[in-house]
Amino acid sequence: MQQQFGESKVVKAATLAVDVGYGNTKTAFAVGSEVKTTMFPSLAPQAAMTSLTPDAGTPFQARKVVNVLVDGARYEVGPGVSLTGAYNTGRALAEDYVTTPNYAALLAGALFYSGASEIDRLVLGLPVHNTQKYAGYLRDRFVGQHDFGWGAIEVKSVLPLPQPLGTLLTYMQQTGKQYDPDNSYLVIDVGYFTTDWIVARGYTMDDTRSGGVPGGTARVYQQIANKISAEQGQPFDAIERVDHALRTTGSLLFYQQDLDLNSYLPEAMAVTHQSIKELQSRVGRTDDIRAIILTGGGAALYAPTIRAAFPLNAIHMMDSPCFANVRGFYTIGAARQASKAAA
pLDDT score recorded for residue 4: 41
pLDDT score recorded for residue 50: 58
- Return per-residue pLDDT of the chain as tens, 343 residues: 334 444 444 478 899 999 999 889 999 999 888 999 999 999 998 887 655 555 555 565 667 889 999 999 999 999 988 776 544 555 666 788 999 999 999 999 999 999 999 999 999 999 998 899 999 999 999 999 999 999 999 999 999 999 999 999 999 999 988 999 999 999 999 999 889 999 999 989 999 999 999 889 999 999 999 999 999 999 998 898 999 899 899 999 999 999 999 999 999 999 999 999 999 999 999 999 999 999 999 999 999 999 999 999 999 999 999 999 999 999 999 988 777 766 5
Q: Give yes or no for a contact between 165 and 328, defined as CB atoms under 8 angstroms apart.
A: yes
- For residues 146 and 114, what is the distance between their CA atoms, to the nearest angstrom? 15
Three-state secondary structure call for residue 10:
coil
pLDDT score recorded for residue 8: 42
pLDDT per position as a tens digit, 21-64: 988 999 999 988 899 999 999 999 888 765 555 555 556 566 78
> CB 334: neighbour CB atoms within 10 A?
19
- For residues 239 and 192, what is the distance between their CA atoms, to the nearest angstrom? 11
Beta-bridge mates of residue 11: none
CA distances from 289 to 249, 271, 284 (A): 36, 26, 11
CA distances from 256 to 105, 221, 232, 259 (A): 35, 21, 12, 10
pLDDT score recorded for residue 336: 81
- What is the Cα Rg of the chain in Å? 20
pLDDT score recorded for residue 338: 75
List alpha helices for the chain, DSSP H: 101-114, 131-142, 163-175, 217-232, 239-247, 265-268, 272-283, 299-309, 321-342
- For residues 124 and 103, what is the distance between their CA atoms, to the nearest angstrom? 12
Q: Give yes or no for a contact between 292 and 315, defined as CB atoms under 8 angstroms apart.
A: yes
What is the total residue count of the chain? 343
pLDDT score recorded for residue 227: 97
Q: Which residues fall within 8 angstroms of residue 152, CB to CB, at 6 or more apart? A: 117, 145, 146
For the chain, which domains are there? 12-48+64-162+324-342 (3.30.420.40), 164-216+269-321 (3.30.420.40), 218-267 (no CATH)
CA distances from 4 to 110, 111, 114, 116, 181 (A): 11, 11, 9, 12, 42
List alpha helices for 161-292, DSSP H: 163-175, 217-232, 239-247, 265-268, 272-283
pLDDT score recorded for residue 245: 93
Helix 217-232 / helix 299-309 crossing angle, nearest 10 deg: 110
- For residues 76 and 2, what is the distance between their CA atoms, to the nearest angstrom? 9
